[in-house]
Chain A
Amino acid sequence: MSAPAPGRPFPPGDYPVVVVGSGPGGIQLSYALSRLGADHAVLSADDAPGGMFRRWPFFQRLLSWTKPYAPAERGTPAYERYDWNSLLADEPAHRSLMPDFMDGTSYFPSRPEMEQNLVAFTQRTGIQVRHGVRWTGTRAEDDEAGQRFVVETTDGEYRSTTVVFAVGVAEPYTPATPGLELAAHYADTRPAETYAGRRVFIAGKQNSGFELASGLLPWARQIVLASPSPARLSVNTRSLVGVRARYVQPFEDHALGGGVFIIDAAIQRIERTADGSFQVSLTRTDGGGDVQLETDDVIAATGFVTPLLDLPELGVATFGQSRLPAQTPWWESASRPGIFFAGTIGQGAAGLKKHGLPSNSGAVHGARYNARVLASHIAVARLGIESQPVIIPPDAIVDRLVREVSMNPALWHQKAYLAWVAEAADGGFRDGGIQPLAHALDAGGPDAVVLTIEADGLGATYPVVYLRTAGGVREIVLDGEVFLRFGGAEHRRALGDAVNSLGSLSLAK
């Protein structure tokens, strides 16, 4: 490891791990690697930490809340359930930083407040980042020790067997629809007041489209949102799938005939008219035929793609409109071992998506736990840093399960995605810590109790225990509880029964 030099840390050279990016994903990963004693370099094209929060959301307020006053005390892990925006720290003084920067006007922090939170975490925890260095290319090379990657940058070359890209999903994407190239992308939206009295057509009915529509309600004369499939609302899906409640106002305006129109239609083409406005030709996908409309502005709220540079040429497979890299449950490229992903790109490791509900890996409150798990995985699997196994005696396992299901915010925020694992070992259970659920279920290994919190998308939230044996995996769904408390006598009894079942299944092998 090259010790950080005074001034700018991490000069070009060889490192055990190279992390690219200084948004919340890169910062959280660097913090967790440091606390595990895993040497690494962090590189960033930006001149300060914060990633996308240095610029977006466009209307300068987040979608993720932090409750300054919550049922759990600030500075405790239990508080993390109510604070979606602070990064995770082992030291109580570095936890729960977000509420310190909030001015009390909203429980959604403003963008500058979030940026301050991330900068403060980086400074207070002593995370080193080489800023102002741009990743320009990647190649693989073989030497006597095996294969390693060369990360080419504006400052020179970095070599490592393990590279983690935490570069966000931040490259504006516009589909090849004829004429859509005439539109401004979400990323290039003008100040709201410049839309005063104008007719605005927004292509896209995801959160970014509805965010713009909400912000333009006091300015635009008419707003039309269109995309081929119907808009879904998070309050209906009972998850983060769909348009968030904060942006539902345009939907109500549409429903009540106030001048906003939300249409299920494919855009055939967009053309400029002689007077400088636009003609938009739509084909409705709900059987309503063709429609034409005139508008003064067109905005493509058509999403972002992952800025992977030349990684696809190196063999990194991607999928979906966001061109996310396909990943293993440990956020490693499914097609190019040694290349990992952190931050919002981790949503490419989709997990089980039970009942269609995604993980929260695309947001800080999910990705921060993924980063901690990834750091442990890299430390063990890539750097050979072994920790002493912790054995839980048989008479303590139920207490421990109750504690994890009641208190572990990783299970709460990453439902049916991250799991607490206890593997049968001599004299009790080995504490397997938090692991990706897909790995815990599919990778085999010793008999194990695998614990999650899950939801069914219909409003129910409940613990689930998986019993993993050589004979397969058995799923035991526990009851929910009206106040979402899973530490009571009934859950204790059910968890005890589950542990006993594991013994029976093991004996039956």
Chain B
Amino acid sequence: MAQFLQATLYGLLQGGLLALIAVGFSLVWGVMNVVNLAHGAFVLAGAYVALQLHEAFGLDPFVSMVPAAVVLFGIGYVIQRYLVNLVVNGPLFITLLLTFGLELVLVNLMLYLFTADHQSITTSYAENSIVLPGDVRIPYGRLLAALLALALTVALVYVMRRTRTGLSILATGMDRGAARLMGIKARHVYALTFGIAAAMAGAAGAAVGAVSTFSPADAGRFTLFSFVAAVLGGLGNMWGALYGGLVLGLVQGIGGQLLPGTLVNALAFAVLILVLAIRPQGIAGRAFYASRVEA
């Protein structure tokens, strides 16, 4: 029982982090209809920014979430404005291929700069745990990471719904033509959206670096998790990625307890395929067209 509780808690904490990774991915997909295969590479770029700051100035990885987000915002903005915007009206394959090419470039750049070694950012407190009755442990690092991730996700939803910038992003996602007629600069808004998504991924990356090891080869895994979480939660709803991330984290946490070997990876996909077959709009999403009107 205690083991089960521990697995559930771990799953939830991991799920919070997955939600922060997935929320940007889901935003880009929902607004621009671009599936960004380089999203996992952004997460790792954030982790490496935090690692460099930690090594150079001894900066705490959770503090580094801010500079990581700023750096990644810049990278994301430039990539969308001067590259992805060039093909954003193309068919599905085109944007997929472009972002795949980006992923190759970014991952290999990181391999070149930081080698393929597994790294982690160690802090004095992250390994200490709150011990609950029944010997259920909550490491401070994971708790902090999950809480910060949740706060950022909620903040993003607030920004999207309550500020002028957020509303212009949502409007462009609903109907680009109409948004442009209202004086919204679609090129800038798209770049902004991609930048925000990359910033979220970068912040998540810094937190990932604080709680686990990472290497450039993990990029594909993070992209896959974002994909699964985004689809699980459903597109077009700002809370979708949050639900999706939490469900994915729980499935992985509990599945890891019940299943032998690495079958837990297959389980995540089994859940995904099940959701797609039964409820393609995801847990919180709506049918495609409706989702474009409310966000």
Mutual binders A and B:
no
